[in-house]
């Protein structure tokens, strides 16, 4: 069994669109992630609050100060050696000195770390605001800032003073603006970049998706145009299980079927032409014969009563041939106009069949052919149908003569006829042991002028209308006709007819 590979070509359009949307969004997320990573690498201080970088009061600045204070506290209470502590505190001092602030750290009431004398620092602090050095304080005022914090490590207690007279509260809004503008500008840029990336990736993915849809669509429309312009040999080359693939397959199949039916119609038309030409030709033979024998009579060539009788018999036979051929022509025209009219009567089907078969048997015997009518079940012997007897005899005659015509040379020909009753219908089956019909042909044999073996064109062999006549007559009876066959073995023609169901009158 051929297993269809799951490749992208087979993706349903629905899935394709979904994949495009998801890929677009995923691509945007990945690109944004990469951008964020780049920003993190190249702009490490972007949101760095650990160092003080402004002399103005703001929420952001307050956070920065509180981080600075906690950095000092953490260092004081850490396990670092005295040298390391001093080095790190110096680094912090360097940072805050840039905004004009000073640090003074007192250890158990003794001086521990400063770059300025204790007196100077305390004076500066007092000029900013009043304070109690045992209490924590976070003062941001008009005169500057003063932060007092206490830290304890084991039995050692530290008091940290941070002072700055340069520090101003100023206009809150405008002071705020520096840092917040910085943030808002950068945020806007990032947002804009994300949106751009999103739009770009969706556009790219949509273009790719559209391409994968429009390309096969173009193939499809080009193909349909080519086929509809009359090139029925054209096949669209696109193999996929998606919606377009299914449509392409249907269009290709349609073209193939159209080609096949045109071919069939042409063959039938050809067959019809040959048949009419054949009949015209065959009419000439008995006519010539009639003329010849009539001349013989007229000119006294048939000079004995025996000869004259013989001539007259031949003329009569030829006239019969002409009549048969004319009947054939008439049937064809009736078939073409679908206007066979029936004269139906209620008939016992079993009796009709057994009468017909007992006569047909003798004719068949001359051809070394056996016809057997199987005795039906008792109740089936009383089935009544509405039948135009002469027309229905024609149906049986056509089927029987086909069985004889298409008998197998390998065995003695035999046709078995059965009758089986059902609830509302009855089926007549005529099974022969002839050459059979191929599966390819069997669905066509009831079509006018269809002949399984197209090589046979001579009228005397058949004209391809026998079964078409049967079909027309059976259908006019409200019945159905069909065939089953095993090529080389047998053919069964089945006819179903409606039973006439008599209402039982209980009053009788």
Residues that bind ligand ADP (CB under 6 A): 398, 402-403, 406, 432, 434-437, 445, 450-453, 462-468, 491
11 vs 435 by CB, closer to ligand ADP: 435
Question: Residue 316 Cβ, how far from ligand ADP at the closest point, in Å?
Answer: 26
CB-based contacts of 156, cutoff 8 Å, min separation 6: 107, 108
CB-based contacts of 126, cutoff 8 Å, min separation 6: none
33 vs 488 by CB, closer to ligand ADP: 488
CB 187 within 8 A of CB 32: no
Burial of 178 (0-12, 13-18, 19+ CB in 10 A): middle
Question: Residue 318 Cβ, how far from ligand ADP at the closest point, in Å?
Answer: 22
54 vs 441 by CB, closer to ligand ADP: 441
CB-based contacts of 224, cutoff 8 Å, min separation 6: 236, 251
Question: Residue 219 Cβ, how far from ligand ADP at the closest point, in Å?
Answer: 41
Question: Residue 309 Cβ, how far from ligand ADP at the closest point, in Å?
Answer: 35
Question: Residue 455 Cβ, how far from ligand ADP at the closest point, in Å?
Answer: 10
250 vs 280 by CB, closer to ligand ADP: 280
Q: What angle do CA 222, 228, 230 make, to 5 degrees?
A: 115
Q: Locate 209 and state its tokens.
A: 């998706």
Burial of 289 (0-12, 13-18, 19+ CB in 10 A): middle
Question: Residue 395 Cβ, how far from ligand ADP at the closest point, in Å?
Answer: 11
Question: Residue 483 Cβ, how far from ligand ADP at the closest point, in Å?
Answer: 7
278 vs 376 by CB, closer to ligand ADP: 278
Q: Locate 285 and state its tokens.
A: 């033979």
141 vs 488 by CB, closer to ligand ADP: 488
102 vs 282 by CB, closer to ligand ADP: 282
244 vs 467 by CB, closer to ligand ADP: 467
180 vs 416 by CB, closer to ligand ADP: 416
Question: Residue 2 Cβ, how far from ligand ADP at the closest point, in Å?
Answer: 35
C-alpha closest to that of 364 among 390, 396, 398, 400: 400
Q: Which residues pair with 421 in a beta bridge?
A: 426
Q: Which residues pair with 164 in a beta bridge?
A: 145
Own/partner pairs for 371-377, CB < 8 Å, 24+ apart?
Answer: 371/400, 371/414, 371/415, 371/417, 372/414, 372/415, 372/416, 372/417, 373/417, 374/416, 374/417, 374/418, 374/419, 376/350, 376/418, 376/419, 376/420, 376/421, 377/420, 377/421
93 vs 450 by CB, closer to ligand ADP: 450
Question: Residue 329 Cβ, how far from ligand ADP at the closest point, in Å?
Answer: 14
Question: Residue 297 Cβ, how far from ligand ADP at the closest point, in Å?
Answer: 36
The 10 Å Cβ neighbour count of residue 382 is 14
174 vs 460 by CB, closer to ligand ADP: 460
364 vs 445 by CB, closer to ligand ADP: 445
Q: Locate 167 and state its tokens.
A: 């520090």
Question: Residue 274 Cβ, how far from ligand ADP at the closest point, in Å?
Answer: 12
Buried b (16+ CB within 10 A) or exposed e, 384-408: bbbbbeebbbbbbbbbbbbbbebbe
Give, as one character, the DSSP assignment of residue 168.
B
Give the separation between CA 458 and CA 449, rounded to whole angstroms: 12
Question: Residue 372 Cβ, how far from ligand ADP at the closest point, in Å?
Answer: 15
92 vs 465 by CB, closer to ligand ADP: 465
Question: Could you please report the per-residue DSSP string of 455-483?
Answer: T---GGG--S-HHHHHHHHHHHTT-EEEE
Burial of 327 (0-12, 13-18, 19+ CB in 10 A): exposed
CA-to-CA separations, 44 to 38, 48, 97, in angstroms, rounded:
10, 7, 22
Q: Any idea of the CA torsion for 393, 399, 404, 407, to the nearest 10 degrees?
A: -160
C-alpha closest to that of 139 among 74, 65, 71: 65
Question: In what side-by-side order are the strands of the sheet with 156-164?
Answer: 110-114, 102-107, 156-164, 144-153, 137-141
Question: Residue 373 Cβ, how far from ligand ADP at the closest point, in Å?
Answer: 17
């Amino acid at each position: 069994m051929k297993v269809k590979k799951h490749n992208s070509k087979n993706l349903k359009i629905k899935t394709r669109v979904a994949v495009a949307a998801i890929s677009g969004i995923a691509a945007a997320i990945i690109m944004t992630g990469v951008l964020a990573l780049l920003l993190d690498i190249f702009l490490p201080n972007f949101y760095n609050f650990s160092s003080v970088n402004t002399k103005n009061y703001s929420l952001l600045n307050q956070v920065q100060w509180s981080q600075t204070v906690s950095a000092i506290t953490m260092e004081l209470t850490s396990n670092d050696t005295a040298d390391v502590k001093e080095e790190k505190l110096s680094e912090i001092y360097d940072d805050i000195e840039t905004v004009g602030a000073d640090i003074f750290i007192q250890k158990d009431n003794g001086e521990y770390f400063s770059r300025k004398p204790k007196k100077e620092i305390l004076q500066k602090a007092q000029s900013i605001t009043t304070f109690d050095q045992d209490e924590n304080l976070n003062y941001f005022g008009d005169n500057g800032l003063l932060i007092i914090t206490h830290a304890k490590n084991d039995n050692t207690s530290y008091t940290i003073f941070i002072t700055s007279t340069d520090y101003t509260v100023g206009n809150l809004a405008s002071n705020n603006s520096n840092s917040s503008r910085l943030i808002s500008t950068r945020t806007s840029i990032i947002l804009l970049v994300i949106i751009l990336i999103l739009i770009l990736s969706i556009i790219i993915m949509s273009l790719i998706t559209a391409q994968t849809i429009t390309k096969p669509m173009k193939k499809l429309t080009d193909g349909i145009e080519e086929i509809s312009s009359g090139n029925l040999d054209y096949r669209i080359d696109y193999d996929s299980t998606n919606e377009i693939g299914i449509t392409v397959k249907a269009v290709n199949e349609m073209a193939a079927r159209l080609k096949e039916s045109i071919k069939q119609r042409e063959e039938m038309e050809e067959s019809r032409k040959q048949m009419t030409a054949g009949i015209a030709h065959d009419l000439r033979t008995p006519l010539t014969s009639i003329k010849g024998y009539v001349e013989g009579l007229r000119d006294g060539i048939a000079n004995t009563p025996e000869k004259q009788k013989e001539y007259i018999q031949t003329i009569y036979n030829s006239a019969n041939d002409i009549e048969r051929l004319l009947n054939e022509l008439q049937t064809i025209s009736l078939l073409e106009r679908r206007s066979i009219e029936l004269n139906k009567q209620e008939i016992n089907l079993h009796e009709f069949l057994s009468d017909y078969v007992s006569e047909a048997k003798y004719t068949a015997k001359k051809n070394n052919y056996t016809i057997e009518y199987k005795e039906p079940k008792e109740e089936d012997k009383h089935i009544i149908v509405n039948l135009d007897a002469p027309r229905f005899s024609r149906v049986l005659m056509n089927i029987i003569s086909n069985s004889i015509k298409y008998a197998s040379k390998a065995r003695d020909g035999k046709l078995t006829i059965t009758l089986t009753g059902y609830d509302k219908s009855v089926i007549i089956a005529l099974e022969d042991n002839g050459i059979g019909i191929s599966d390819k042909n069997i669905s066509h044999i009831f079509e006018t002028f269809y002949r399984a073996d197209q090589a046979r064109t001579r009228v005397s062999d058949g004209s391809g209308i026998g079964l078409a006549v049967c079909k027309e007559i059976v259908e006019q009876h409200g019945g159905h006709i069909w065939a089953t066959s095993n090529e080389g073995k047998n053919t069964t023609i089945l006819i179903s007819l409606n039973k006439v169901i008599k209402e039982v009158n209980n009053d009788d």
